[in-house]
Structure 1
Amino acid sequence: MCRDYLQPALLIFASIAIGVVGWSGHVLLLPVALGFPVLWSIARTRSVAALVSAGYFLAASRGLPQGVAAFFSSDIWPGLLLWLGASMSFVTVHSVLWTRNPNVRPFHYLLAAAVMSVPPFGITGWAHPVTAAGVLFPGWGWWGLWLMTAGLAGLVTRMWPAVAIALAGFWLWSAAIWTDPKLPEGWRGVDLEMGASLGRENGLQRHRDMIATVRGAASDGARYVVLPESALGFWTPTVERLWTGVLHNADATVIAGAALLDAGGYDNVLVAIDGKGGRILYRERMPVPGSMWQPWLSWFAENGGARADFFANPVVPIGASRAAPLICYEQLIVWPILQSMLHDPDFVVAVGNGWWTEGTSIVAIQRAATTAWAKLFARPLVLSFNT
């Protein structure tokens, strides 16, 4: 009887360990997440597969309860409820598609992986093992993604030990020669440590501080300076005039996060500003569900919340180049970066405002995931975060 409970207990414990280590925020540890499909396939019953899925996902997203509590200035309970609620789509998909039949198991797992990559389930498709492709196959692009897909299918067959050994070989080879993505020439990403005040404190002095930061980067030769999400607060004609006037005689362009407000809600955007004026460069495709994106408000004829553009503007023109922008939450899910790569951008620009993640590994995970995708497709990367 004890042996009947031992294997499920070991699988659940192992799935938790894989979630913690694989999603610790260290890019070279992302391949540890490939242990999840192995454990999922070894499960003898659907209920055990569901518990293995829950253990992995909850461990990988363990920073959410504390982060939500900080964001809403509340106790831990709202964060715990959101944490458990967000896990339901991952657990449901992987438990429904689990099968005892080894002949169709690879197809079922690949279907689960695909479902968790795109909306609607992909909206909470965090901790996707396919993210490790950039570590195992840096520079291989779409071929690397297909090899990773084949590897995931192989890990849920009886041949998984041989597949795991082969993938481990690629992992060791990659770790031995690993280098982080380069910056595009003439670009500079600025990290700030302004905490919760960024985007909320929008007085003239705050903008002057930002302007001084930009001038410092430009004096070092940067022609494009990237500031984090929400750096400019609300984007208004007054803010545009202020920044345009400052940059009038400067040979620099500022890319910064802002919010564009109207009667129906707001867009979380990136704006581009130079001496000639400012323009909306990018509208976020997938804001954070719950805290920003609140589609249920329309059910009650209410306004508010951030708009999700889902598949809009996957690449944006900046000067003579084309960039793949990712704002905050988009760095944790799969389809925004893959949609952007279908359009062959020249580089990736990733920004975030992670003040609410203090004490968690969320920002580190965002950086690691974005770095892995940039390495997979051999694209330069610009990062800019506020903490």
Structure 2
Amino acid sequence: MCRDYLRPVLLIFASIAVGVVGWSGYMLLLPVALGFPVLWSIAQTRSVAALVSAGYFLAASRGLPQGVAAFYSSDIWPGLLLWLCASLSFVTVHTVFWTINARTRPFRYFLAVVVMSIPPFGITGWAHPVTAAGVLFPGWGWWGLGLMTTGLAGLVTRIWPAVAIALTGFWLWSAATWTDPKIPDGWRGVDLELGVSLGREAGLQRQRDMIATVRGAATDSARFVALPESALGFWTPTVERVWTGALRDGAATVIAGAALLDAGGYDNVLVAIDRKGGRILYRERMPVPGSMWQPWRSWFGESGGTRADFFTNPVVAVGASRAAPLICYEQLIVWPILQSMLHDPDFIIAVGNGWWTEGTSIVAIQRAAATAWAKLFAKPLVIAFNT
């Protein structure tokens, strides 16, 4: 009787360990997440598979309660509620697709992988093991993604030890030869440490400080400067005039985060500014569900919240190049980057405003995920974060 309880308990604790280590924010530890499909497959009942899935996902997203509490300046309970609600889609999908039938299990896990990669379930598809493809198969592109998906399906078969050994070999080789993605020629990403004030202090002095930061970063070799999400605050004609005037005597182009407000809500955007003026470069496809994207407001005739542009503008033109932008939350899920890669951009721009994540590994995980995707598709990467 004791053994009957011991095995499920060990599986659950192992799944928690896999979630904690794999999603610690350390790039080369991402492949630890591949332990999840193994643990899911050797669960002997559907209920144990559900608990294994919950343990993995909750451990991987463990920074959410603290981050939400900081974001709303509240106690931990709203964060805990959101944390548990967000896990429901992951747990539900993996519980529904679990089977004791070893012959159909790989196909069913493959379906779970796909379902958690695309909307609607992919909207909360964090901690997806496929993200590790960039660590195991850097530069392999779509072939690497295919091999990763095949490997994930292989990890739920009876020959999973052989598959695990093969994937570990790729992992060790990659770790031994690892180099970070290069920065595209002529670009510079600027990290800021302005905390909660970024995007909330909208005065002229803050804009002047940002302009001084850009001037310090822009050189003859770096004509494009990327600033973090929300760097400009609200995008207005006045802000555009201030920046255009400041850039009039130079050749620099600034890519910066801002909010575009109207009566119905706002768009989280990237703006491109040079001496000729400013333009909306990119509208975020998937804002943070709950805290930013609140679609239920429209159901009750209310306005507010951030609009989700879903499958629009996956690639944008910047100068003579084409970039794949990822704003904050988009770096944690799968479908935005894959949609962008279908258009074969020249590089990736990843920006974020992570002041609310202090004391958690969320920003480190975002950076690791963006870097992994850039390595998989051999794309240069520009990163700009505020903490």
Provide TM-score, normalisation by structure 1.
1.00
How big is each residue's C-alpha offset from its partner over 1:289-326, in whole Å with a ceiling of 9 and x where there is no partner? 00100000001100000000110000000010000000
Matched residue count: 387
1:249 partner letter: D
How big is each residue's C-alpha offset from its partner over 1:16-44, in whole Å with a ceiling of 9 and x where there is no partner? 00000000000100000000000000000
1:72 pairs with 2:72: yes
1:44 partner letter: Q
Q: C-alpha distance in 1, partners of 2:224/2:276?
A: 15
Q: Match of 1:82? A: 82
Q: C-alpha distance in 1, partners of 2:177/2:358?
A: 32
Q: Match of 2:185? A: 185
1:360 pairs with 2:363: no
SS at match of 2:292: coil
SS at match of 1:74: coil
Q: C-alpha distance in 2, partners of 1:222/1:204?
A: 25
Tell me how far 1:219 sits from its aligned partner: 3.4
Give the 5 Å matches for 1:41-52.
Answer: 41-52=41-52
Q: C-alpha distance in 1, partners of 2:386/2:101?
A: 48
Q: C-alpha distance in 2, partners of 1:360/1:221?
A: 35
How big is each residue's C-alpha offset from its partner over 1:326-377, in whole Å with a ceiling of 9 and x where there is no partner? 0000000000000000000000000000000000000000000000000000
1:278 pairs with 2:290: no
Q: C-alpha distance in 2, partners of 1:116/1:167?
A: 22
Q: Match of 1:381? A: 381
Give the 5 Å matches for 1:220-231.
Answer: 221-231=221-231
2:92 partner letter: T
Q: Match of 1:345? A: 345
Tell me how far 1:221 sits from its aligned partner: 3.2
Q: Match of 1:100? A: 100
Cα RMSD over matched residues?
Answer: 0.5
Q: Match of 2:332? A: 332
Q: Match of 1:260? A: 260
Q: C-alpha distance in 1, partners of 2:188/2:102?
A: 50
SS at match of 1:223: strand
1:113 partner letter: V
1:367 partner letter: R
SS at match of 1:382: strand
Q: C-alpha distance in 2, partners of 1:46/1:278?
A: 54
SS at match of 2:218: helix
Tell me how far 1:249 sits from its aligned partner: 1.1
SS at match of 1:219: coil
How big is each residue's C-alpha offset from its partner over 1:89-134, in whole Å with a ceiling of 9 and x where there is no partner? 0000000110000000000001001000000000000000000000
1:177 partner letter: T
1:366 partner letter: Q
Q: C-alpha distance in 2, partners of 1:341/1:145?
A: 12
1:370 partner letter: A
Q: C-alpha distance in 2, partners of 1:163/1:75?
A: 44
Q: C-alpha distance in 1, partners of 2:312/2:220?
A: 34
Tell me how far 1:157 sits from its aligned partner: 0.1
Q: Match of 1:172? A: 172
Q: Match of 1:58? A: 58
1:365 partner letter: I
1:70 partner letter: A
Give the % identical residues. Answer: 86
1:198 pairs with 2:212: no
Q: Match of 1:136? A: 136
Q: C-alpha distance in 1, partners of 2:73/2:224?
A: 35
Q: C-alpha distance in 2, partners of 1:7/1:250?
A: 66
Tell me how far 1:220 sits from its aligned partner: 6.3
Tell me how far 1:222 sits from its aligned partner: 1.3
SS at match of 2:81: helix
1:63 partner letter: G
Q: Match of 1:27? A: 27
Q: C-alpha distance in 1, partners of 2:281/2:257?
A: 10
2:332 partner letter: L
Q: C-alpha distance in 2, partners of 1:297/1:183?
A: 40
